[in-house]
Amino acid sequence: MIVLKSDFEIDKMRSAGRLAAETLAMIEKHIRPGISTLELNDICHDFTVSRGAVCAPLNYRGYPKSICTSVNDVVCHGIPNSKQVLKDGDIINVDVTPILDGYHGDASKTFFVGSNVSTAARELVKVTEECLEIGISQIRVGARIGDIGYAIQEHAEKHGYSVVRDFVGHGIGKVFHEDPQVPHYGEAGKGVRIEPGMTFTVEPMINAGDYRCKILKDKWTAVTVDRSLSAQFEHTIAIRSNGAVEILTLP
């Protein structure tokens, strides 16, 4: 069941979303060769708590950390740890979800580590961010969820990349994951019709190679089956009562 939000609730989500954006802007300054993903986790955790919020991923269905850190061939849900130290040339997606005043704000961004990131990695990240922007541009009252995925898939595949199928965007509000599901692939004109009060994430995961994933033994970390690079960007979107589309996870 899709939970439609009032403008008052969307305002609450905007505050949480702004904090998510501020967290990503803050952590970018710390992303460098030699820092561990656990250090990044702890910095984000302390920042979130200092703003009167809590980290939604921590203990969510057993997830052990406060953020997700997905490096290179990790598609999503990478678990921060002290032994994973970033190297010059890596790419890393940091996914944060603070809960502020009972509402979630969900956002992620892929960052470059150091100055020696390959041209291939830079192009993948560029196209992935474009996929997010193109997907969001399809959102309007009366459009279909499938319009978002179709536009993203078309853009990614035009550049020779593939779109992950195993993980999709989702409704969000007081609950971390709710309806509707928002695939980043599919057919235009299909799926749930978009209407005022809907709030959901758009978070395309784009692979340089095969679209398929596998889950590691930790039961969380998803990697590309061919170990090709993967990138992701994410925003939380709301449709106001007047039909206005708002990106909630902007600074």
**247 belongs to a structural domain:** no
The pTM for the full model equals: 0.97
Q: In this structure, are residues 240 and 220 in contact, taking their beta carbons and an 8 Å threshold? A: no
- 250 within domain boundaries: no
What's the rounded Cα separation, in Å, for the pair 53 and 16?
8
Measured distance CA(132)–CA(152) in Å, rounded = 7
Mean pLDDT in order along the chain per 10 residues (251 residues)? 97 98 98 98 98 98 98 98 98 99 98 98 98 98 98 98 98 98 98 98 98 98 98 98 98 88
Instruction: Note the pLDDT of residue 127.
Output: 99
Residue 123 pLDDT:
98
Which pLDDT does position 42 carry in this prediction? Answer: 98
**Residue pair 19/101 in contact by the 8 Å Cβ criterion:** no
Beta bridge partner(s), residue 134: none
**Would residue 20 count as lying in a domain?**
yes
- Name the nearest CA neighbour of 18 among 102, 100, 132, 111: 100
Q: Which domain holds residue 134?
A: 7-242
Residue 62 structure tokens:
């057993």
Structure tokens at 168: 């999709």
Residue 251 belongs to a domain: no
Interstrand relation of 98-100 and 162-163 (parallel, antiparallel or unpaired): unpaired
In a domain, 1, yes or no: no
Asked if 89 and 122 touch (Cβ cutoff 8 Å), the reply is: no
Identity at 155, one-letter amino acid code = H
Give the Cα-Cα-Cα angle 135, 140, 145 (nearest 5 degrees). 55
CATH of the domain at 65: 3.90.230.10
pLDDT value, residue 219 = 97
Q: What is the pLDDT of residue 159?
A: 98
Distance, CA of 87 to CA of 36 (rounded, Å): 10
Give me the number of domains the chain comprises: 1
